[in-house]
Amino acid sequence: MNKEILKNQLDLATLVRTQRLQAGPKGGKMTAHTLADLAGVSRDTIFRIERGEDVSFSTAMAVLRVFGLGLSAAPVEWPTLNTAQEHFKTR
């Protein structure tokens, strides 16, 4: 399995949704209700995660554990202010 770099909630949203849609029987999708039951959270919480909304760290970890995933810290390059300004500069 490839390591995913999660920089923000939208990355988490994509990961959870992708995993859920591939985790059902015979590679089919797992319902949000099933994932919620397995993680011990509400179905609405699953939808909030998949929309990229904020959830607690412990909630995110509970959902990731259902898929056998955890977190690992790694250095991430962030754009500098100058780089961002250059990127958005209008000509």
Q: What is the pLDDT along the chain (91 residues), one digit of tens a residue?
A: 567 788 889 999 999 999 999 987 777 899 999 999 999 999 999 999 999 999 999 999 999 999 999 988 888 787 888 888 887 886 5
**Predicted pLDDT at 57:** 95
Distance CA 23, CA 65 (A): 13
Structure tokens at 27: 């590679």
Tokens 């959902």, residue located: 63
**Predicted pLDDT at 3:** 76
